[in-house]
Structure 1
Amino acid sequence: MKIGIVCPYSWDVPGGVQFHIRDLAEHLIGLGHEVSVLAPADDETVVPPYVVAAGRAIPVRYNGAVARMNFGFLAAARVRRWLHDGTFDVLHIHEPTTPSLALLSCWAARGPIVATFHTSNPRARLLAAAYPMLQPALEKISARIAVSEYARRTLVEHLGGDAVVIPNGVDVDFFAKAEPKAEWQGQTIGFVGRIDEPRKGLPVLMRALPKILAERPATRLLIAGRGDEEEAVASLPKEMRSRVEFLGMVSDEDKARLLRSVDLYIAPNTGGESFGIILVEAMSAGAPVLASDLDAFAQVLDQGAAGELFANEDEDALASAAVRLLGDPQRLAELRERGAVHVRRFDWLTVAADILAVYETVTDGAASVVATDERPGLRSRFGLARD
């Protein structure tokens, strides 16, 4: 099958959507499919052979963060050229409502289109307000996927229609087989995420850290991610700052080794999460997980059966749970075992098979995807639309 995948966000900036698209593309290629990914990237950016660079991205405020996307006449021309040259059996667009290559592709293409919705934001009134502009593009979508029940709920409430829920995927064995790193072991807790993005929750963890260290002074916090390190520890007493180690941006291999090494992984995110891929990666690596009780996180952690939850933005609750878990090796071992079993449902072997089933549903007897200026009337029902 010839598959075109559209990435809305800059390829060279780490993010959950980009990682999902990368891993899906590589898994599908491994199965023998022909895959091309169109993504924002400078012409000088080194990209994998299956990625087509669509030009420089610019920063845009979106869903509580700054995303790098590209839009405009040049981007539209590159979209049409890619569609024309690709003659794809199916076009898979991620985040089709973003002002990016995704929306441009939706406008430009005709043929079987699958869209994946990642965003979970129940207060996204802007989506509803923009619906008249988005409607012609959304009506072209043949099938809709949401990465979680909460992303599906955002879609249903603000755009109408429905979607099948297929979670983000992870190569579970890649994390499970990683070798721990000795210097990252021994009374360590971990955090992975952008340091200066408030919704990732590092300030909550920093407020909790003095309480954790008061009870367990040998604890170390390992932080992997980009951002202002000095600002991140500014709220900590000076004598405690040595208990925080910044690793900067790490490779996928080192992220897996970090998650294999820590005694406890903490996800203090405060909102704007539709899934929680880092929780799945942590469970895959055998790290016990303590996370804020966001709806999406609770779903990933099987409502607390595969990892523990604390009240969102409550540093006292975070500190209390962390101290209790770090002092209870039996409970940590139980969480590792439960997580290892639960996480298998997110393995790419399962997730990609579900996505391929959607592709096959919409391509059965359909023509290839082509570029067009037409806006054929399609109707959506339960995630599927037909002429």
Structure 2
Amino acid sequence: MKVLFIHQNFPGQFKHLASVLALRGHEVKALTLRVKQRATWNGVEILPYAIRPRGEQKTHPWMLDLDSKVTRAESCYLAAREMKAGSYTPDVIISHHGWGESLFLRDLWPSARMGLFCELYHLPGYPHAGFDPEFPVRDAETDPMRIRLKNINNHLHFDIAQAGISPTRFQADTFPQPFRDRISVIHDGIDTRALVANPGARFVLEDGRALSREDEVVTFVNRNLEPYRGYHVFMRALPRLLRERPDAQVLIVGGEGVSYGAKPPAGKTWKQIYIDEVRGAIPDADWARVHFLGRIPYDRFVALLQVSRVHLYLTYPFVLSWSLFEAMACEAAIVASSTEPVLESVEHDETARLVDFFDGDALVDQTVDLLEDAEARARLGRAARDSIVANYDLRRVCLPQQMDWVTRLAEAPL
């Protein structure tokens, strides 16, 4: 079977699936913006495409999103057309269509089956929009219209796709009927062989100090430090947490950009905005125990989770982060927000402690309680890992389901 993956940052969510398909003898290729030259990765032939330059033109602000997607779709189409000229015809196209690249590919290959990675359908109204009163929608009357236009790309893809796959029920349920019935809920998978508790783990700080399970380590992880993932709530809780836990070392992972939601004021970062807000309430001696690590290599990230006594995870009602499940697989004791995507996979006082997203005091209360209760930490950590192994294990649960999904996709009627 010939399988073509489309992802602007390949492999992304297809890291394991693409590799296994290639390992099992299928001809696997990928079109992506991530590389500039043709390359091979885990048996997958990776082909670049580049966005075509465009002249200046005026576009309505509500149409900028679609304009960007059509630009990418045209560029990806032109690269795919060269592949077709070389006599390549895929049986299956699997696309993370969120950036629009795959929009015109079945115009080239009408006999190919297309499967979509369905990350999110944009919904107006609370809690999907306006969840955080600190960042209200600009115009409550017109915002549903703007959001409806953001979904044009989704609807155009629905017309050319045979099936979808989504990591969580929360994400899949944002999509409307009739396409929702074509979406299989299958998580990307957690490598529970690599992500395990390790009593001997060490995490080395920049000053050379090595933290271990003997240290009181609190961890907080975002791709980027921003309000969508509760960075502002966490930072406002930090002064009290440091006061109450004079031995705690707080490790913060995340970049300074914006992955989701509103951009900060020009020339500023959300990271620094909330540092500036709370720094005056934190003595220098306490601030020395706060470590902003930026983005770190994956092996260091795993070590960080393995030395964590309490891991904090906050999110808007949005796409669930891999880091929550990775921390659970490492038997970290979790304090998380009781938002809908978290509630799908975590049960209060069974696999984590849950708090209201906006309640910084409750976040500190639960963190302190767990830091003082080794038995509760161990119980929650074991149960968290058991849940991940039972429901999200890469090799035993998710990959077999993904492979079955690809087989069914290849056999789907056009």
Indicate whether the TM-score tops 0.5: yes
Give the Cα separation in 2 of the matches to 1:132 and 1:21: 24
Contact 1:145 1:166 in 2 (8 A): yes
For normalisation by structure 2, the TM-score amounts to: 0.75
Cα distance, 1:107–1:293 mapped onto 2, change above 3 Å: farther
Give me the CA root mean square deviation: 3.2
1:7-40 deviation digits (Å, cap 9, x = unpaired) = 1x445xxxxxx54222332343344443222222
The percent identity for this pair of structures is 20
Report the CA distance between 1:157 and its aligned residue.
Answer: 6.0
Alignment of 1:72-221 (within 5 A): 73-82=74-83, 86-94=88-96, 96=97, 98-105=98-105, 108-110=108-110, 111-119=112-120, 121-123=122-124, 125=144, 128-129=148-149, 135-156=155-176, 161-176=181-196, 180-182=201-203, 183-185=210-212, 186-221=215-250
Give the Cα separation in 1 of the matches to 2:392 and 2:85: 34
Q: Which amino acid in 2 is paired with 1:167?
A: H
1:262 lines up with 2:308 in the alignment:
yes
Report the CA distance between 1:270 and its aligned residue.
Answer: 2.8
Could you tell me which residue of structure 2 aligns to residue 363 of structure 1? 410
Secondary structure of 1:43's aligned partner: coil
Cα distance, 1:74–1:292 mapped onto 2, change above 3 Å: same
Q: Which amino acid in 1 is paired with 2:100?
A: S
1:3 lines up with 2:3 in the alignment:
yes
Could you tell me which residue of structure 2 aligns to residue 245 of structure 1? 291
Report the CA distance between 1:277 and its aligned residue.
Answer: 1.3
1:95-120 deviation digits (Å, cap 9, x = unpaired) = x2x34313344665422111121126
Q: Which amino acid in 2 is paired with 1:164?
A: S
Give the Cα separation in 1 of the matches to 2:119 and 2:241: 34
Cα distance, 1:336–1:27 mapped onto 2, change above 3 Å: farther
Contact 1:20 1:169 in 2 (8 A): no
Structure 1: gaps spanning 5 or more residues: 12-17, 365-384
Report the CA distance between 1:154 and its aligned residue.
Answer: 1.0
1:68-102 deviation digits (Å, cap 9, x = unpaired) = 987154332013334665433321112x2x34313
Report the CA distance between 1:136 and its aligned residue.
Answer: 4.8
Alignment of 1:29-108 (within 5 A): 29-41=22-34, 43=36, 48=41, 50=44, 51-55=46-50, 71=72, 73-82=74-83, 86-94=88-96, 96=97, 98-105=98-105, 108=108
Secondary structure of 2:316's aligned partner: coil
Secondary structure of 1:213's aligned partner: helix
Give the Cα separation in 2 of the matches to 1:153 and 1:140: 20
1:276 lines up with 2:321 in the alignment:
yes
Could you tell me which residue of structure 2 aligns to residue 377 of structure 1? none
1:202-244 deviation digits (Å, cap 9, x = unpaired) = 1211111122222212111101222256545222334132121
Contact 2:73 2:101 in 1 (8 A): no
Secondary structure of 2:77's aligned partner: helix
Contact 2:29 2:47 in 1 (8 A): yes
Contact 2:162 2:182 in 1 (8 A): no
Give the Cα separation in 1 of the matches to 2:232 and 2:164: 36
Give the Cα separation in 2 of the matches to 1:168 and 1:303: 24
How many aligned residue pairs are there?
Answer: 351
For normalisation by structure 1, the TM-score amounts to: 0.79
Cα distance, 1:28–1:335 mapped onto 2, change above 3 Å: farther
Cα distance, 1:165–1:40 mapped onto 2, change above 3 Å: same
Give the Cα separation in 2 of the matches to 1:109 and 1:296: 36
Give the Cα separation in 2 of the matches to 1:106 and 1:322: 51
Q: Could you say which structure has the greater relative contact order, defined with CA pairs below 8 angstroms and 6 or more residues apart?
A: 1
Give the Cα separation in 1 of the matches to 2:172 and 2:336: 22
Contact 1:290 1:322 in 2 (8 A): yes
Give the Cα separation in 2 of the matches to 1:138 and 1:109: 16
Cα distance, 1:225–1:354 mapped onto 2, change above 3 Å: same
Structure 2: gaps spanning 5 or more residues: 54-60, 129-143, 204-209, 257-268
Report the CA distance between 1:161 and its aligned residue.
Answer: 4.7
Contact 2:3 2:91 in 1 (8 A): yes
